[in-house]
Amino acid sequence: MQKTIHSALVSVYYKDGLEPIIHELNRLGIVIYSTGGTQKFIENLGVPVTSVEEITQYPAIFGGRVKTLHPKIFGGILYRRNILQDEKEALEFRIPNIDLVIVDLYPFSETVAQTHNEEEIIEKIDIGGVSLIRAAAKNFRDTLIVCSKNQYADLEALLKEKNGKSELHERKHLAIQAFLHTASYDSAIFNHFLETNTSEYTAPSHFLVGNTQAQHLRYGENPHQKATFFGNLNAHFTQLNGKELSYNNLVDVEAALSLLDEFEAEAQPAFVIVKHTNACGVALGQDLLTAYQKALSADPLSAFGGVLVCNKRLDMRTAEALNTLFFEILVAPDFEPEALALLKTKKNRIILARHASRMPKTQFKSVLGGVLVQDKDLKSETADDLKVVTTQQPTDEEVRAMLFAAKIAKHTKSNTIVLASESQLLASGTGQTSRIDALKQAIQKAHAFGFSLQHAAMASDAFFPFSDCVETAHQAGIKAVIQPGGSVRDQDSVDFCNQNGMTMVITGTRHFKH
């Protein structure tokens, strides 16, 4: 069923790309209705335009919050051209036809990403735009809806090549896209208010994720698996070099940055190296090069092909050191121009400049055909959280070492044991089915790369079910232990520490990571 556009309502937030559309509408003699800034934009192009206020005989009110919410506007969009009674009522109430609706939405998600100002965010909740889009989409048999500037090229082609005539399947396709667009928009609003709700926590009763920004990835976890990323990577990074990010790249980058952000309060440069979501190098240093060299020394074998992230502008000295290592991805907040030029000499090396952006506080995981939703683990221990349970009190250096190790353990696959000094990961045991095996793995790795564990700190993501871990740690020279506690046999581990001059602190917080 072919329809010809005789009139159009145009009211958009983003004006870029709109000009050729307006000129095509004018060429075809299509009546244009508009309001506010869009009306002024059209007038400045020298194209005739009728204000919405002229139709409704009602001004925009409440600072522009109410402009198009009026029966004459919605009637013009919604009335059914093939229903005689609708035709009679449209004539009786002098409701004009509106055959084309070009309306987008206020940038809600973009505003949330840029500010914490609640009033500013609320004002970017679109009301009229959503209503207009849904109305036009509902009446797709008679009305064409264009709800995004990404659809302008198709609309321009329709106007030029078909002189404003559209087929039913074209209108229905755009209606589907419109409902997807508004569903995504409403989901973003819902999730923002759920996340920022300061009242007593209640588990969400609905799972809503709306994101129309789909990026098809090279492949999934393995080459035979297809994968798509839904989200806005540009909000977090600018890619400066390299091939497209893959599924595994994105998983590893998030793991690396989540760990790096544990050191956000540190004035010192921090460097993190990740392989398969687990840290193989973490260090603080007096300068970035020192931090990188310390991080690399923890496990230079695993660093090969890894993901590298840092919290300071990347300088030339560090770039020269990095350039000798094969790695997949490097993320930094900024780069010295000559350092970037050097690193870009490897064309496939992915280089990302990180933006200051807000990360969601909720996590999702698909299981058994459903979705698990949980709060992110945002708890990080401080010295105030530590309860000393041994007679041996920790020194200030041991406290710093234990807290450093605990930050890494929180972001390492369970079961894990992390061995560290106050500014460097020495070794870790990751993803083991028993805690003692994780410890043995960590000790073996530390010795393999030449580290002495005398006076090192040991962190565990969960309690010790037996005293075997502290016994093995003591044999390796470890003197300070941090763990959540909670085992019915905690006292066995405490007793051993007391008998052997070790210090142990309990945090009361478990950090499983599956």
Which active-site residues does the annotation give? Answer: 138, 276
Which residue from 358, 357, 360 is spatially nearest to 204, judged by alpha carbons? Answer: 360
452 SS3 class: coil
CA-based nearest residue to 417, from 440, 446, 444, 439: 439
**Cα dist from 428 to 128, 282, 441, 472, whole Å:** 55, 11, 7, 15
Q: Name the residue with tokens 């977090």.
A: 236
Instruction: Return all residues near 401 (Cβ < 8 A) that are at least 6 apart.
Output: 420, 421, 422, 456, 457, 480
Residue among 184, 171, 78 at smallest CA distance from 130: 184
The tokens for 122 are: 């609320």
Amino acid residing at 509? T
H or E stretch including 435? Answer: helix 435-448
Q: What are phi and psi of 458, to 5 degrees?
A: -120, 130
Q: What is the DSSP letter of 220?
A: S
- With contact defined as beta carbons under 8 Å apart, do 425 and 296 qualify? no
Encoding tokens for residue 10? 């145009």
List strands edge to edge, sheet with 307-310. Answer: 237-241, 350-354, 329-332, 307-310, 270-275, 278-284
Best CA proximity match to 451, nearest among 326, 317, 311, 281:
281
Question: Mutual orientation of helices 128-138 and 71-78 as an angle, nearest 10°?
Answer: 30
Q: Cβ contacts of residue 323 below 8 Å, gap of 6+? A: 342, 343, 345, 346
For residue 466, the one-letter residue type is F
Specify which residues 278 forms β-bridges with. Answer: 275
Residue 390 DSSP class: S
